[in-house]
Each structure stands twice: as structure tokens, then as C-alpha cells.
Structure 1
């Protein structure tokens, strides 16, 4: 079974439902996989909506600093002008998922957007150590 990191990006006005909707949509594209953590930009990890959404799924939150987000950007498939202007990456959720999943991680679900347009999510396959 594949193990995934879900990356999320969201606006300050996002609700837990916004984030959950984006996560659920991303997971529809990765049926049967096990989610092991939620990753996001380090400055967002204490946002109440994220804490609630992660708590509802009993998942840890992985903080990704700006340098690691930018390091993952070459693998990002979405090019949002807003994200590029504000964060220097094409997609925060994709970059966060990739950065948390490991150096050779693969994006398995590109950015999806919540119904209310306040949150995004993407999924990357966790890079497992060689056996």
C-alpha cells in the first residue's frame, strides 16, 4: 500500500471544512493509499482550521520552511501566479507534499481546490527507505 503525504495550502479565512474538502478531493485521486501526515508552509501550522482538520483525521502536521518549499518547486506541476508572487512556488500544497515526502518523492495528485476556493491539497508518495 502506498503511503502518502497530503500537502495543503489555504487562505487565512479558510475553515476546517475548506481544508477537509480539499483533502477529501485529493484522496479521491489516490484511492487505497494510507495518509501518514499533512504538510504545509511553516507559518500556517498553528491555524485553527488546519489544527481541526488534522485532528479530525488524527494526522500529524509537518511544517515546511520557505527554503524547502522552493527546493521542491522544480517538481511542482501547477503554476499559480498568486502562489508564485507570495511564496515563490507554483503551488504551496504540491511543494509541501513533495518536500515532506522526501528527495525522490513523486506527486500522485496535483493541486485540487476546495469547493469554497479557500484551500488546496495535493498528494505525494512517501519516499520509503531502500530495504
Structure 2
């Protein structure tokens, strides 16, 4: 059986290290189960973050940047949100909303927000790929 195609949504502070992000993403993917990761997604102004770029380069994943409006469009589909995040980014969620937006219509969260000290991650599978 083929592994479902998925996107990893990432929210991170300017202080997040490459090691912290790589460790968090690896743990999230282990928890989410077998997946074919199509790429990483985040807030557009974070796409150049060194930790994100290091992870993308090490794993051969593309990085998709999404506007606050793109993220906010997922508001009714996210499982966790924050007024603090909304004040900082213009959207109540970054990682969950980014994963869902990048995975496209019909996508589903496989793993809701997981966090470390300086980052959050979530995993969404593309529509038609979710296991029962």
C-alpha cells in the first residue's frame, strides 16, 4: 500500500534552532505514521528562517509560504488556535492552518499541533489519502 501524501505545517519563532525543529518534526512524523511528505508549509514571512531552510535542504522538501489570509481561511478546520498567535501573525493558527492549506481541498489533519519551546508542527494528508 502506498503511503499517503502529506504536508507538515510549521510555526516557529525567530529563536528556533535547526536541531530543535528537526527533532520536533521527526517526532511528529513518527507519531503520525507512514507518510510521503510532499513538503513543508508556514507563514510566508518565515520561509527564509534558517532552521526551516536547513530542514528542507536536509530532507529534500520544498517550502510553501502562505499569507495570513490563506491561513485564516482554514479557521473552521483547525483543532487548536490562539489569540496570541492571531495578534502576531493575523491568523489564529500557523502550523495546523498551513498544513491544511498546503495539502489542499479535502485535506485532513493527521496530527494536530505538537510543540517544543520555539516551534509548533502539524501534519495534514491530502484529500482522498486518509486512512480509515
Indicate yes or no: 2:111 matched with 1:109. Answer: yes
Q: Could you report, residue by residue, the CA deviation over 1:15-50 in whole angstroms, capped at 9, with x for unpaired residues?
A: 111211221121122211111100000001011111
| 2:35 corresponds to | 33
TM-score by length of 1: 0.90
1:43 pairs, out of 36, 42, 45, with 45
Moved over 6 A (4+): none
CA distance in 1, matches of 2:93, 2:71: 9
Deviation, structure 1 residue 118: 0.4
Q: Give the secondary structure class of the aligned counterpart of 1:122.
A: strand
Cα root mean square deviation, aligned: 1.5
CA distance in 1, matches of 2:36, 2:24: 17
Indicate yes or no: 2:60 matched with 1:58. Answer: yes
Q: Give the secondary structure class of the aligned counterpart of 1:29.
A: helix
- Structure 2 gaps of 5+ residues are none
